[in-house]
C-alpha cells in the first residue's frame, strides 16, 4: 500500500500583547479546545522568561499560518476570560495608539485595564449589597443624622442596594457598618447586576440663551456620525449647561456618554452637577479610587450599565458598548497629556475614538488650545461660540500694575492693597493667585551673594517654614536643613528673595488682620476632605482672602469673589518654550474668570515687571481669541506646531558629553536618510540641564508630512533603543506639549 502523505498536526496559536518592553505581540500555542474558546480581547496567563504575565489576545492565527522553525513556541498557561473584556473598537484604538505613540503594545493594553484585571484576578467580582433587617428601627436612630439618612435610603430599596451606589449617594460605609452593628441591616455578597439603568430627568434644564441654543442644535444635528466640535465659550458662559442638554438627548436614546475632565477638575461639585440633572448610573473613573471600586466602575461602563462615564485622562480607553457622545471639558488642560511612559494625549485619542465610534465629540474651553483652533481653521472641527456670560454676571476687567514704578508694601502694590481692602469692607471675597508653593524661592547671602542651590539640580532650593523650617528642591525632592549662616563667608544674615504662597499668606495676614486668609495649594489641601471644607466656606457670603496656586485656576465657581490678583506670571512671559505664551495666556484668563461670577462685576489686577509685553496688551485691550489668532499666524509663519508635526527625544545619563555624542550620531543618520523631509533641532541641553544628578539633552524632529515623519521615526527609534548604552535613559514624545 502506498504511504499516505504525512499531514503535520495543525498548531494552534494566538498572538498575545504581553506587558513588557517589546513592540509587537508574541505568539503562544494552545490546544484545539482552548483555541476554540480563546477570544480576541480576552486575557491569558503566559510565561515570559521566568515570569508569569497577564496578556491580552490580539489575534487568533489561522492554523495554516506559516511557522517560523527558528522560534520555539511556548504554550499559554491559562485562559483567564471566557469572553473578551476589551471589545474590537477599543482594541483597534489601543493598537492605533501603540503605533502612533510608538510604545510597546502590551504596555498600552495594560494601561487600559483596571489593576485587578491587570493582576489576573477574575472578572466576576462579587458586589457588596446592603439590605434592611429591621424596618421598624426609627426609634433606635434618634441621635445620628447620618444613620437616619442611610436607613431611609435602605428602606426605599427592599431588595438591597450596592455599597457603591450608596457611597455615590453620600452614605459612608462606616455608617452602614454602624447600622449593621445595631442589627438594622446586613451586607451580602452577590453577583453584580450589570443590567442597564435607563436615564430619567431629575431636574429641568435651564432655558438656553441664543448662543447656547445654537450650539445645542448644531451638535444634535450631527448625532450618529463623526463630527468634532470646539465649544469656545467665555468663562461662565454656560458650557456645562450646553453639555447637559446635548447629553440628555443622547441618553434618552439609551446611549452612553463619556465625559473627560482634567485631573484636578473631578471635584464633588462637578459630579453633583451631573447627578442632580440625571437619574442614571454614573461611573466615576479616576486615580483616587481603590482597586475594587475602580473595577466596579469600569465594569459598569464596559457592560453598558452606566450611561454616564465621568473620568480623567485614562478613561478614554474604557470599553463602552453604546457610546454616543464624547465630551472633553477644559480641553486646553495639560493633564490630558500623559507626561511619562506611554505619552498619549487624551484629546487626540478622543478625536480618533469618536471617528471609530461614529459619534460626535465636543472639546470645550474658555481658552482653547492653539492646536484646536488650527483644526477649526482647517475645517476639521466646527467652532461654536458662547459670547455672553450666562445669567447676570459680566466679564471682569483686567488692570496691569507696573511693579517697576509701583509703590509696594510687603510685595504687594499699594493700589492692590487698597482695592483688596475695599472689597473686604463690602463683604466680598478676593482671590490672590501665585503659582509658587513654599515660603520663598531663593535664599541668598546679603554679603557675598551665595544662593542656596540643590546640589543635584540646576535649581535653587525653596525655603519652607511648614511643617518645620527646611530647604526643599521642587525638582528632585531633596530636603536640607536651612544653614544658620552663609556657608561661603559665614555672614550671619541670610535673606529671602521673592515670595511663595506661604510668605504671601503671612504678609496678607499682617496687612488684613481682621480677615481670614485661606491658602489653597498642594501643601494645605493634602489631607482628605480639607479642600471640601474650604470650598464650602467659599460658597458662603463672608469676606475672605483666598490665596492659591494652579488649583484655584480651574473651572470653579466662586460666586462672592469680585477681585482677583495675579502676583507673578513673569516667568511664563520669559520662557522660551514654544507653548509658554499660550499657557500663560490661558492661565491669566482662567484665573481672571474666577472674578465676578456672581451679581457683582469683577476686577483683575496683574502685577508684573513686563507691563508692555505684547501678550498682556493683547489680553487687556482685546481678548484671548485675539491672542489666539495672532499666535496662530506667528506659528504658521515660523512653521511651528501645529503647522509642523513634532517629536521630541529626551536623553538622560550621567554625562552630557555622552548624551550629545549619542544623539548627534543618530541625528546624522536621520539627516542623511529621510529625503530631507525632517528638520532636526539639536542635540541641545534641556532647559534644566542637570536634574537629580543626571544630565538631560533634547533632540527635536519637525516635519510637515506626518506620515513620513512617523515612517522614518519608527525604524530609527527602534535602532536607537537597540544601541543605547545601558546607563542611558531615552524616551520618545510624539506631539510633545512641553519642551522641558
d(CA 511, CA 508): 5
185 annotated binding-site participant:
no
Identify the residue among 241, 331, 582, 652 touching ligand ADP (CB under 6 A).
Answer: 241
**Shortest Cβ 243–ligand ADP spacing (Å):** 8
Options 83-91, 163-171, 474-482, 669-677: segment touching Zn ion (CB under 5 A) = 474-482
486 annotated binding-site participant:
yes
Identify the residue among 63, 391, 455, 614 touching ligand ADP (CB under 6 A).
Answer: 391
Identify the residue among 486, 520, 649, 702 touching Zn ion (CB under 5 A).
Answer: 486
Options 66-74, 256-264, 485-493, 616-624: segment touching Zn ion (CB under 5 A) = 485-493
What DSSP designation does 568 have?
-
For helices 580-592 and 614-621, angle between their N-to-C axes, nearest 10 degrees: 40
Q: By C-beta, is 235 or 737 nearer to ligand ADP?
A: 235
d(CA 493, CA 696): 35
Q: Is 396 exposed, middle or buried (0-12, 13-18, 19+ CB in 10 A)?
A: buried
Q: By C-beta, is 39 or 476 nearer to Zn ion?
A: 476
d(CA 430, CA 423): 7
C-alpha cell at 165: 451606589
187 annotated binding-site participant:
no
Q: Does residue 162 belong to the site contacting ligand ADP (CB under 6 A)?
A: no
**Site for Zn ion (CB under 5 A): how many residues?**
15
Q: At which residue does the C-alpha cell 427592599 appear?
A: 158
Residues from 180 through 209 that contact ligand ADP (CB under 6 A): 206-209
Residues from 547 through 586 that contact ligand ADP (CB under 6 A): 557
Q: Does residue 206 belong to the site contacting Zn ion (CB under 5 A)?
A: no
d(CA 119, CA 53): 8
Who contacts 643 (Cβ-Cβ below 8 Å, separation ≥6)? 374, 635, 636, 704
Q: Does residue 450 belong to the site contacting Zn ion (CB under 5 A)?
A: yes
Q: Does residue 476 belong to the site contacting Zn ion (CB under 5 A)?
A: yes
**Shortest Cβ 592–ligand ADP spacing (Å):** 13
Which does residue 325 touch among Zn ion, ligand ADP, none (CB within 5 to 8 A, set by kind)? none
The number of C-alpha atoms within 13 Å of 458 and in the hemisphere containing its C-beta is 9
CA distance readout (Å), 348 to 154, 332, 646, 725: 43, 12, 14, 33
Q: Does residue 238 belong to the site contacting ligand ADP (CB under 6 A)?
A: yes
The number of C-alpha atoms within 13 Å of 171 and in the hemisphere containing its C-beta is 24
What DSSP designation does 7 have?
P
CB 105 within 8 A of CB 24: yes
Q: Does residue 372 belong to the site contacting ligand ADP (CB under 6 A)?
A: no
**Shortest Cβ 660–Zn ion spacing (Å):** 22
d(CA 281, CA 195): 10
Q: Does residue 488 belong to the site contacting Zn ion (CB under 5 A)?
A: yes
Q: Is 250 helix (H, G, I), strand (E, B) or coil?
A: helix
d(CA 222, CA 239): 18
**Shortest Cβ 294–Zn ion spacing (Å):** 33
Binding characters for Zn ion, 491-530, by CB under 5 A (x = yes): x---------------------------------------
The number of C-alpha atoms within 13 Å of 450 and in the hemisphere containing its C-beta is 16
Q: Does residue 677 belong to the site contacting ligand ADP (CB under 6 A)?
A: no
280 annotated binding-site participant:
no
Q: Does residue 436 belong to the site contacting ligand ADP (CB under 6 A)?
A: no
Who contacts 266 (Cβ-Cβ below 8 Å, separation ≥6)? 284, 286, 310, 311, 312
Residues annotated within a binding site for Zn(2+): 445, 448, 454, 457, 473, 476, 486, 489
Residues in touch with ligand ADP (CB under 6 A): 206-209, 212, 233, 235-241, 390-391, 557
Residues in touch with Zn ion (CB under 5 A): 445, 447-448, 450, 454, 456-457, 473, 475-476, 478, 486, 488-489, 491
Amino acid at each position: 500500500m502506498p504511504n499516505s502523505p504525512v499531514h503535520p498536526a495543525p498548531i494552534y496559536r494566538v498572538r498575545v500583547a504581553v506587558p513588557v518592553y517589546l513592540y509587537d505581540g508574541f505568539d503562544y500555542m494552545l490546544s484545539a479546545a482552548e483555541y476554540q474558546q480563546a477570544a480576541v480581547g480576552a486575557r491569558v496567563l503566559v510565561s515570559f522568561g521566568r515570569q508569569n504575565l497577564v496578556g491580552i489576545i490580539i489575534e487568533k492565527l489561522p492554523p495554516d499560518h506559516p511557522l517560523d522553525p527558528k522560534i520555539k513556541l511556548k504554550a499559554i498557561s491559562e485562559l483567564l476570560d471566557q469572553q473578551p473584556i476589551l471589545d474590537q473598537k477599543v482594541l483597534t484604538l489601543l493598537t492605533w495608539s501603540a503605533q502612533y505613540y510608538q510604545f510597546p503594545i502590551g504596555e498600552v493594553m495594560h494601561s487600559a485595564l483596571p489593576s485587578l484585571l491587570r493582576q489576573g484576578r477574575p472578572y466576576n467580582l462579587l458586589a457588596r449589597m446592603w439590605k434592611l433587617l429591621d424596618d421598624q428601627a426609627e426609634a433606635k436612630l434618634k441621635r445620628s443624622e447620618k444613620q437616619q439618612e442611610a436607613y431611609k435610603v435602605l428602606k426605599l430599596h427592599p431588595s438591597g442596594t450596592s455599597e457603591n451606589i450608596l457611597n455615590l449617594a453620600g452614605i459612608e460605609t462606616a455608617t452602614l457598618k454602624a447600622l449593621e452593628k445595631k442589627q438594622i441591616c446586613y451586607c451580602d455578597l452577590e453577583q453584580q447586576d450589570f443590567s442597564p439603568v435607563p436615564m430619567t430627568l431629575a431636574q429641568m434644564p435651564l432655558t438656553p440663551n441664543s448662543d447656547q441654543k445654537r450650539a445645542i442644535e448644531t451638535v444634535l444635528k450631527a448625532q450618529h456620525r463623526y463630527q468634532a466640535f470646539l465649544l469656545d465659550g467665555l468663562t461662565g458662559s454656560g458650557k456645562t449647561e450646553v453639555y447637559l442638554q446635548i447629553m440628555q438627548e443622547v441618553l434618552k436614546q439609551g446611549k452612553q456618554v463619556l465625559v473627560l475632565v482634567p485631573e484636578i477638575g473631578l471635584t464633588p461639585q462637578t459630579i453633583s452637577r451631573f447627578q442632580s440633572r440625571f437619574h442614571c448610573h454614573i461611573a466615576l473613573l479616576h486615580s483616587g479610587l481603590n482597586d475594587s471600586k475602580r473595577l466596579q466602575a469600569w465594569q459598569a461602563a464596559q457592560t453598558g450599565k452606566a450611561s454616564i462615564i465621568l473620568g480623567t485622562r485614562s478613561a478614554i480607553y474604557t470599553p463602552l458598548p453604546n457610546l454616543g457622545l464624547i465630551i472633553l471639558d477644559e480641553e486646553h488642560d495639560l493633564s490630558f497629556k500623559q507626561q511619562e511612559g506611554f505619552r498619549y494625549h487624551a484629546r487626540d485619542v478622543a478625536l480618533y475614538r469618536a471617528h471609530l465610534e461614529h459619534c460626535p465629540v465636543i472639546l470645550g474651553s474658555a481658552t482653547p488650545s492653539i492646536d484646536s483652533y488650527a483644526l477649526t481653521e482647517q475645517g476639521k472641527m466646527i467652532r461654536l461660540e458662547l459670547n455672553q456670560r450666562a445669567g447676570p454676571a459680566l466679564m471682569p476687567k483686567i488692570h496691569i500694575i507696573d511693579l517697576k514704578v509701583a509703590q509696594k508694601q510687603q510685595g504687594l502694590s499699594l493700589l492692590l492693597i487698597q482695592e483688596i481692602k475695599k472689597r473686604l469692607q463690602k463683604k466680598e471675597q478676593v482671590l490672590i493667585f501665585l503659582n509658587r508653593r513654599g515660603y520663598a524661592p531663593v535664599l541668598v547671602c546679603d554679603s557675598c551673594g551665595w544662593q542656596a542651590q540643590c546640589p543635584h539640580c540646576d535649581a535653587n532650593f525653596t525655603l519652607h517654614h511648614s511643617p518645620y523650617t527646611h530647604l526643599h528642591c521642587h525638582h528632585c525632592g531633596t530636603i536640607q536643613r536651612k544653614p544658620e549662616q552663609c556657608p561661603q563667608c559665614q555672614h550671619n544674615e541670610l535673606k529671602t528673595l521673592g515670595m511663595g504662597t506661604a510668605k504671601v499668606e503671612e504678609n496678607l495676614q499682617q496687612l488684613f488682620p481682621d480677615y481670614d486668609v485661606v491658602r489653597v495649594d498642594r501643601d494645605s489641601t493634602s489631607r482628605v476632605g480639607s479642600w471640601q471644607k474650604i470650598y464650602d466656606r467659599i460658597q458662603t457670603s463672608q469676606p475672605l482672602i483666598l490665596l492659591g496656586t494652579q488649583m484655584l485656576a480651574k473651572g470653579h465657581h466662586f460666586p462672592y469673589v469680585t477681585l482677583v490678583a495675579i502676583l507673578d506670571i513673569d516667568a511664563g512671559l520669559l520662557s522660551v518654550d514654544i507653548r509658554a505664551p499660550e499657557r500663560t495666556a490661558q492661565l491669566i484668563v482662567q484665573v481672571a474668570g474666577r472674578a465676578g461670577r456672581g451679581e457683582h462685576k469683577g476686577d483683575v489686577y496683574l502685577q508684573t515687571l513686563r507691563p508692555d509685553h505684547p501678550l498682556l496688551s493683547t489680553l487687556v485691550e482685546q481678548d484671548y481669541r485675539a491672542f489666539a489668532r495672532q499666535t496662530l499666524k506667528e506659528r504658521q509663519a515660523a512653521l511651528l506646531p501645529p503647522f509642523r508635526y513634532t517629536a521630541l527625544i529626551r536623553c538622560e545619563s550621567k554625562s552630557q558629553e555622552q548624551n550629545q555624542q549619542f544623539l548627534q550620531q543618530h541625528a546624522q543618520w536621520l539627516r542623511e536618510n529621510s529625503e530631507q523631509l525632517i528638520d532636526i533641532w539639536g542635540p541641545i541641553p534641556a532647559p534644566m540641564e542637570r536634574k537629580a544628578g543626571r544630565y538631560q539633552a533634547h533632540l527635536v524632529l519637525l516635519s510637515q508630512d506626518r506620515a513620513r515623519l512617523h515612517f522614518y521615526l519608527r525604524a530609527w527609534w527602534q535602532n536607537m533603543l537597540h544601541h543605547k548604552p545601558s546607563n542611558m535613559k531615552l524616551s520618545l514624545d510624539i506631539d510633545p506639549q512641553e519642551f522641558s
